[in-house]
Amino acid sequence: MSDTATTTQPIRDFALAVRAALSDLPADDVDDLTDGLEADLTEQAADFDDADADAPAPGFELGDPVAYADELRGAAGLPVRGDMPTVRVSTLRRLRARAGGLQANATRRVRSSAAGAAVLDFLLVLRPLWWVLRGWIVYAVASVFAGGAISTVPSDPVRWLVLSAFVILSVQWGRGHWLPWRWLPGFRFVVSVCAILVMPVLLNYTAHQANVQNTAYVEYTPSPTPGLMQSGVQVTNVFAYDADGQPLTDVQLFDQSGRALNVVNDPVNTNYLPQLDAAGEQDMVVPSILVPGGGWNVFPLRLVMSGDIDYTYDSLGQAYQADAAPSLFPFAQVRPLVPVSETGEPAPAPSPTPSPTLVPEPTASASLTAGP
């Protein structure tokens, strides 16, 4: 009969407990110590004639499985469980080991593809650049603790010397040099992590400082861009006359593209336009109220005299439509246009008819004839 058929359940449970007590040993040692354990115990139980099928013999005691396991250890010359020296591993070393394991796993996964391996090799080539950048970040952070302000670019020889020292130290650390103490590799790891966290802030601050310096040296004062110019002089109003030389009012003007010919750049948001009169006083030109939201191309524009401008709330003055009056034309009448004949040539102006010249009639004069 096989061992499985003759081994009772208590014996199997006892053997499992013994193996559990030996679980701190290598698997090969456990197999050597417990090989044939169930068969040996079954044979010992069979020595008692009154054993039944469900339990070992009444006089057969299995005992304590832990003590039995210790006896097996002692017989094999192995240390008893709990007597083995315990090696305490520091938290930092465990973290480093865990980080190393994660790095190894990540590297293995990245290199599993050709593209990932190529990218990783390229990044490894850039490691010296990271070493220099790490030294610069450490210098910038150290400047905060030393002087209270971030110094991304050295401003004197001493700061340049300090920056060079940090960069050289970072490069040597990257090469695995200048690490005489056991705690320095862990400290280097902490510095690298902190540098990665601080790097976005420093880069953003450096870009902002560069922009501020550029705008400080270049003073940009945008020149005013009037809406309508003539020979370099701003046009503030336009006056139209008909063919007979008579003034016209409420004339809408447009350019060659059909756009309103405004005298201001922003006709929607411009309420008035300054204009100097003949005496040097500042009047205000306002748009026509006949075009809602515009009116700057309806000529002649209306005018608010300097005496009607309100300076209460604005030093530049405020002009209101209620105070506007029609602008005075520069000429009451201009020269009429010359009519054109059907041939396309200007009709000649009528020439004045010369007045007749009176020529005195000859008078008969008596001639004296000398007689013979």
Indicate the residue type of 250: D
Would you state the pLDDT for residue 112?
73
Structural domain span for residue 164: 131-217
- When pLDDT is cut at 50, 70 and 90, the band that residue 220 belongs to is very low
Q: 164 and 186 in one domain? A: yes
What SS3 state is found at 22?
coil
Q: 234 and 200 in one domain? A: no
106, 137 Cβ separation under 8 angstroms: no
Q: 233 and 210 in one domain? A: no
* pLDDT-above-70 percentage for the chain: 69
φ, ψ of residue 273 to 5 degrees: the values are: -135, 125
In the chain, how many domains are there? 4
Q: How far is CA 74 from CA 61, 217, 244, in A?
A: 21, 87, 135
Q: What is the pLDDT of residues 12-60, one digit of tens each?
A: 888 888 888 888 888 877 887 787 778 777 877 776 544 444 544 555 6
Q: 111 and 36 in one domain? A: no
- When pLDDT is cut at 50, 70 and 90, the band that residue 259 belongs to is confident
Q: Encoding tokens for residue 267?
A: 């006709």
Q: Encoding tokens for residue 107?
A: 């590297």
Q: What is the pLDDT of residues 148-176, one digit of tens each?
A: 566 677 878 888 898 899 999 999 998 88
Q: What is the pLDDT of residues 77-113, one digit of tens each?
A: 677 766 555 545 567 666 766 666 567 667 777 777 8
79 Cβ contact list (under 8 Å, min separation 6) = 73
What SS3 state is found at 282?
strand
**What's the number of CA atoms in the CB half-sphere (13 Å) around residue 364?**
2
Q: 247 and 207 in one domain? A: no
Would you state the pLDDT for residue 182?
81
CB atoms under 10 Å from CB of 18, counted, come to 24
Q: What is the pLDDT of residues 185-201, one digit of tens each?
A: 888 989 999 999 999 98
**Closest Cα to residue 57, out of 47, 65, 70, 67?**
47
Between 47 and 352, name the one with better pLDDT.
Answer: 47
